Structure 1
Amino acid sequence: MSSTVSIAKAFHTARRKARPLSGFPGDLPTGLAEAYAIQEESISLWPDAIAGWKVAAIHPDLRAELKSERMSGPAFSQSVIQVKPGEIGEIAVIPGGFIAVETEIGIVLNEDIEPRTTPWTMPDLLPLIAGVHLAMEIAGSPLPTINDIGPWAIVSDFGNNSGIAVGAAIEGWDKGALDDLKTEMRIEGQTIGLGRAVGANGGPLDAFLFLVNHLASRNRGLKKGDVISAGATTGVHPIEIGQVAEAICDGCLPLAVRVTGRAASD
């Protein structure tokens, strides 16, 4: 069994059994290509269809070495949820693993995007967006030290993703509304992070452009209705099982999610 397969199977088993890992399950990938190979193997093992992707920034100090400013990971249909204002959604995480929440901007597609060899441009992609929404990523992995290890581990395990919640639509996203959009994260009613939709690394549309071209390089496309969670805007905020997080942005009612403990599955 190759190391790619054995690492993917270890992450798969840990996620399915809701069991934390004591360390990275094998030799750490030497670069992102190896990490994405593990991710691809893990996708092939997972018994659910992809319904979205998360995008995250790579720390500036690592970008030259890793030859990328961003990284990505899949989100699956059972953990991509729509939450109406005034309701509280639920997304499950692995007890004892890495658990955090992030206020993000979610992009929903209005048609399929097929992979191609010609690079996609922003004008190509803007007509393919059905809507832009307030969103929340629930970051999670059976490996509690995944963020400390860095992108090599994060990419290997589904991008350190446990789910994406999609909230209210952001009006005027195509008329510059994202440029100065203020964002916030609250946990149990307390503000723990403030930010903006667009930062030093660009904004949600830049993350979308990265993702489409990155997936094309893996001969992957996207489907109508897929959700792209386009990167943390206020930081990565640890949260305890049972707590409620609220993602907030200008002009939208809060998006509330309760983090629950995941039970083992077959």
Structure 2
Amino acid sequence: MTNQPQDNDWSAAMAQQAAQLLLARRQTRSLGGRLPEACRPRTLMQAWQVQQLVTQAWPDAIAGWKCGLPAPGKLVVGPIFRRDVQSLALDGPAISLNGVAAGASSCRFEQEIGFVLAHDLPPRAEPYAPAEVDAAISHACCALEVVGGRYNAEAAAEAAFPELLADGLFNSGLLLGPKFNDRPWRAFDLAFTVGGQHTSHAARNADGEPRPGLYWLANFLRENGLGLQAGQVVITGSMAGVPTWPAETRIQVQYEAQDAFDFSFTIPQETNT
């Protein structure tokens, strides 16, 4: 017999306990085990509740979202906070990954298409049509999601999906690259050069192309009394896996013939207070 909550006895106090544990790990840039069974979310809506409590308590604005089309047992949505979003054009080629757990010497990255909004898509009764979402987009850009979470490796491997959703699905930041002429981006060539070692990949979004996830997100947030805001950026899934790259190493990423990223990164060893 365990103390794990059933669907019908999940309470606001349990959600708050889970959120406080995840918040503490964010604040100290530390990793930990699975949430205690007594406050471990078991359903997608329980996990969404915990994620929202973390977002409301975190002292930073939402600068963007990660998302993807839902699937049975999965809800792919998570906020990206302003302090964790960096632009190579503004912040330069030497990036400090302040959202990654202290003490790490490498980091995983997902290669994404980012959509930056020019106009709000606020909550409303009627659904947003794809054309309305398209009209709200300022531009698309190359993007790298910084992959990391608040669970240690063993806990992340063992955790059920709702536990991962509660923590924002492994997001620890976002790097923004140059704008490009938008297109469906159903398939293209993606190349990495890391420390002088070159590899190439056939890139493809898991949803077929990047925009359907954005269309879904606009309506999911609308249904939940939230919305998208001008200036926010939305990413909709990796195009070529989740490679691990070392710190303090020159990294170059090319989207077809376009040079997208040329940078190196460090991970601060001190924790936040």
TM-score > 0.5 by shorter chain: yes
Alignment partners' CA distance in 2, 1:224 and 1:154: 28
1:46 maps to a residue whose letter is W
Q: Identify the match of residue 80 of structure 2 among 75, 82, 89.
A: 75
TM-score scaled by length of structure 1: 0.84
Report whether the alignment pairs 1:140 with 2:151. no
Tell me which residue corresponds to 1:34.
Answer: 46
Alignment RMSD: 2.6
Q: Partner of 2:259: helix, strand, or coil? A: coil
- Tell me how far 1:103 sits from its aligned partner: 0.6
1:205 maps to a residue whose letter is R
Tell me which residue corresponds to 1:202.
Answer: 208
Q: Identify the match of residue 260 of structure 1 among 257, 264, 267.
A: 267
Q: Identify the match of residue 218 of structure 2 among 191, 198, 212.
A: 212
2:260 maps to a residue whose letter is P
**Where does structure 1 lack aligned partners over 5 or more consecutive residues?**
none
Spell out, residue by residue over 1:107-166, the C-alpha distance to the aligned partner (whole angstroms, 9 max, x if none): 000011101232222111111110000100001112024652253122101232111111
Instruction: Give the direction of change, closer, same or farther, for the CA distance of 1:82–1:111 in structure 2 (3 Å limit).
Output: same
Further displaced range: 21-30 or 136-145: 21-30
Tell me which residue corresponds to 2:6.
Answer: none
Instruction: Give the direction of change, closer, same or farther, for the CA distance of 1:123–1:141 in structure 2 (3 Å limit).
Output: same
Alignment partners' CA distance in 2, 1:57 and 1:261: 34
Instruction: Give the direction of change, closer, same or farther, for the CA distance of 1:245–1:30 in structure 2 (3 Å limit).
Output: farther
**Where does structure 2 lack aligned partners over 5 or more consecutive residues?**
1-11
Taking every aligned residue pair, what percent have the same amino acid on both sides? 22
Alignment partners' CA distance in 1, 2:34 and 2:120: 38
- Tell me how far 1:254 sits from its aligned partner: 2.9
2:177 maps to a residue whose letter is G
Spell out, residue by residue over 1:164-193, the C-alpha distance to the aligned partner (whole angstroms, 9 max, x if none): 11101121x1xx452333334454343567
1:190 maps to a residue whose letter is Q
Report whether the alignment pairs 1:44 with 2:56. yes
Assess if the C-alpha contact under 8 Å between 2:184 and 2:210 holds in 1. no
From the CA coordinates, give the structure whose radius of gyration is larger.
Answer: 2
Report whether the alignment pairs 1:158 with 2:168. yes
1:229 maps to a residue whose letter is I
Q: Identify the match of residue 237 of structure 2 among 214, 231, 234.
A: 231
- Aligned residues, how many? 255
